[in-house]
Amino acid sequence: MQLNDGAMQDYALTLDRMIEHAAKWHPEKDVVTRRFDGSITRAGYADVYGRSRKVSAVLQRFDTKYGDRVATLAWNSQAHMECWYGIMGLGAVCHTLNPRLTEEQLAWMIGQSEARILIVSEDLLPLASKIAGLAPSLSEVLVIDTMGPKAPQIEGLPNVQALEPLVADADPGAVVWGDFAETTPCGLCFTSGTTGQPKGVTYTHRGSYLHTLRQLQSDVSGLNSHDVVLPVVPMFHANAWGLPYSAPATGARLVFSGRQADGETLARLIIAEGVTVAVGVPTVWLDVFDYLDANGLDVPSLKRVMVGGSPMNSALMRRIEARGIAVQTTWGMTELSPLGTAAPPGDARSPDTAGRPALGIDLMLTDHEGEPLKKQRESEGHLWVRGPSVVERYFGQDEPATRNGWFPTGDLAQISQDGQLFITGRAKDLIKSGGEWINPTEIEAVVSGLPEVAFAAVVGRQHEKWGERPVLLVQFREGESLADDTLRTTLKAHVPSWWLPDAVIRIPDMPLAATGKIDKIRLRSLYGAA
């Protein structure tokens, strides 16, 4: 007789499950938002869930259908999070826009996604007006985080309505969430376009769901229901590292700082809300701990700072750890949803490690032609990745972004014997001098590790004889400085003599790109000519 093998339930891995879970099992855990005027709003997960479904009802009134792209131009806030779930719960795609880009760049992205609806923070309406003039597909503008009952009218911006009154009157009874395959697209985020036009990365419900489970592993974020999480990394950049999914999934409280990401605002929020885990790029934490030090303040609740996007200099890491706060380094990129590797909390490690991959991400090193290195440990090579949350094909493109199932990151890396990943540079940032390669990242790591230095960057300058030569750009901490000879002497102990920069240029403010990283493109344009 043929036996029935049995079966498991067909339970789709869709993101609406995250906020539904939080509403059912952690209904009173709140989402906190600091508004433009400094006031604080709070809403429990049950309220956020109900309001998200009302956002879906509003979008249905505007004829939003499965697969439609809905654009958002907004800061980290409860309202933005509700729009995320409201869009994605319908099977539509949330196309996040970075307000630090130009109106031409943003309009181009909207032209690619063909979004009809733009959800925008009130203070960004002037930018939205400029975008609308260049993006004919837009027909409706819905305003969130308003300071009054009505949205201000901006010349040249038609069909502007405040979303809050529409949400208040909406009936979510007819809204059906999650009635689609788990492979359905849920998000669209364009890369920063450091080489050529930006590329759109399409996230799926399944990929983001699995990314959430990977992030919640104890060796990664290890969040739990007792945590209070401050995501300073923007929701418009690689999904705020997935924290608006993983926090409700485990019942952790969320604290959003809105538009403000200065040291004083973030430090005061950490203290007032009892933040236990704070997440963002290294430049953010320099300002925070400068403010704390200058004002003699402590942050007793803060247990851990997670950093990524660019390396944290060792001097800043030592300052933070001296307070008893663990620094957790990570590596990732937009194409990875975005987390790739993380150093486990409290793990004994080198300060420049990017950590290890968690289950769901695999790494490979290759030569410059993409052939796997025979020796994968203790060798430098080009880094490739694969996994269920890694891009396979960019938005609107027919050709795969992968080769034999592996995605080329553009990073140079080493993997230690114990599996630690070390990012040793970007292939496009290498400087070719006299036919030999100089790696700016190694020079930057030495200089930025000095306690007097706030930021350091190295770019290639055109040279008649050698082709290119390195130039060191330094921003010192306030009241600090070092002589050129001191910097060169320090470098001599760590890099070959022919790597020493031809010039040291002091700059008052290091230019930062829209993602918070040092803007190498701008530095090359300013200092790269002979």
Please give the DSSP secondary-structure letter assigned to residue 218: T
Q: Which residue blocks in 95-178 are alpha helix, DSSP H?
A: 103-113, 125-132, 163-169
In the set 432, 480, 486, 492, the catalytic residue is: 432
413 and 446 in a single domain? The answer is no
Residue 199 bears catalytic tag:
no
For 257, 286, 359, 488, 505, the CA distances from 306, given in Å and listed in that order, are 17, 13, 19, 31, 31
> Residue 482, Cβ neighbours under 10 Å: how many?
17
> Residue 478, Cβ neighbours under 10 Å: how many?
8
Instruction: Give me the number of domains the chain comprises.
Output: 3
Helix (H) or strand (E) holding 44: strand 40-44
Indicate the burial class of 354 (C-beta count within 10 angstroms; 0-12, 13-18, 19 or more): buried
76 and 187 in a single domain? The answer is yes
Within a domain: residue 2?
no
Within a domain: residue 30?
no
d(CA 133, CA 455): 38
> What pLDDT is recorded for position 350?
66
Half-sphere exposure of 49 (CA within 13 A, CB side): 23
422 and 488 in a single domain? The answer is no
- The DSSP bridge partners found for residue 332 are 339
Which residue among 177, 201, 225 closes a domain? 201
Within a domain: residue 16?
no
101 and 137 in a single domain? The answer is yes
| Structure-token match 């930021």, residue found | 455
String of b and e for 134-164 (b: at least 16 CB within 10 Å)?
Answer: ebebbebbbbbbbeeeebeebeebeebebbb
Half-sphere exposure of 12 (CA within 13 A, CB side): 15
In the set 20, 103, 140, 335, the catalytic residue is: 335
> What pLDDT is recorded for position 193?
53
CATH of the domain at 441: 3.30.300.30
386 and 443 in a single domain? The answer is no
Which residue among 182, 201, 220 closes a domain? 201
Within a domain: residue 321?
yes
Within a domain: residue 18?
no
Strands (E), 173-325: 185-190, 200-204, 228-231, 253-256, 277-280, 304-307
d(CA 332, CA 421): 11
- Residues 447, 487: contact at Cβ < 8 Å? yes
> Residue 195, Cβ neighbours under 10 Å: how many?
11
> What pLDDT is recorded for position 195?
47
Which residue among 201, 218, 244 closes a domain? 201
353 and 438 in a single domain? The answer is no
271 and 417 in a single domain? The answer is yes
CATH of the domain at 197: 3.40.50.12780
Taking only the tens place, the pLDDT of each residue in 307-320 is 988 778 788 999 99
306 and 405 in a single domain? The answer is yes
Within a domain: residue 123?
yes
45 and 185 in a single domain? The answer is yes
d(CA 498, CA 504): 15
d(CA 387, CA 390): 5
Residue 335 bears catalytic tag:
yes
Single-letter amino acid, residue 231: P
Indicate the SS3 state at residue 119.
Answer: strand
300 and 420 in a single domain? The answer is yes
Within a domain: residue 136?
yes
d(CA 15, CA 93): 12
Single-letter amino acid, residue 517: K
Residue 191 bears catalytic tag:
yes
pTM of the model: 0.87
> Residue 416, Cβ neighbours under 10 Å: how many?
14
Note down pLDDT in tens along the chain; length 530 residues. Answer: 678 889 999 999 999 999 999 999 999 999 999 999 999 999 999 999 999 999 999 999 999 999 999 999 999 999 999 999 999 999 999 999 999 888 999 999 999 999 999 999 999 999 999 999 999 999 999 999 998 777 777 777 778 999 999 999 999 998 999 999 999 999 999 986 544 578 999 999 999 999 999 999 999 999 999 999 999 999 998 899 999 999 999 999 999 999 999 999 999 999 999 999 999 988 899 899 999 999 999 999 999 999 988 778 788 999 999 999 999 999 999 999 999 999 987 775 666 799 999 999 999 999 989 999 999 999 999 999 999 999 999 999 999 999 999 999 999 999 999 999 999 888 788 888 877 788 898 899 899 989 999 999 999 998 877 888 999 999 999 999 999 999 999 999 998 888 999 999 999 999 988 777 788 888 988 998 87
Please give the backbone phi and psi of residue 354, each rounded to the nearest 5 degrees, phi first. Answer: -100, 0
417 and 442 in a single domain? The answer is no
Two tokens, residue 201: 């990365």
Residue 465 bears catalytic tag:
no
367 and 414 in a single domain? The answer is yes
Bridging pattern class, strands 362-366 and 356-357? unpaired
> What pLDDT is recorded for position 349?
62
Within a domain: residue 183?
yes
Q: What angle do CA 273, 277, 278 make, to 5 degrees?
A: 85
In the set 146, 191, 283, 329, the catalytic residue is: 191
In the set 428, 437, 489, 498, the catalytic residue is: 437
> Residue 453, Cβ neighbours under 10 Å: how many?
22
Parent domain of 278: 261-427
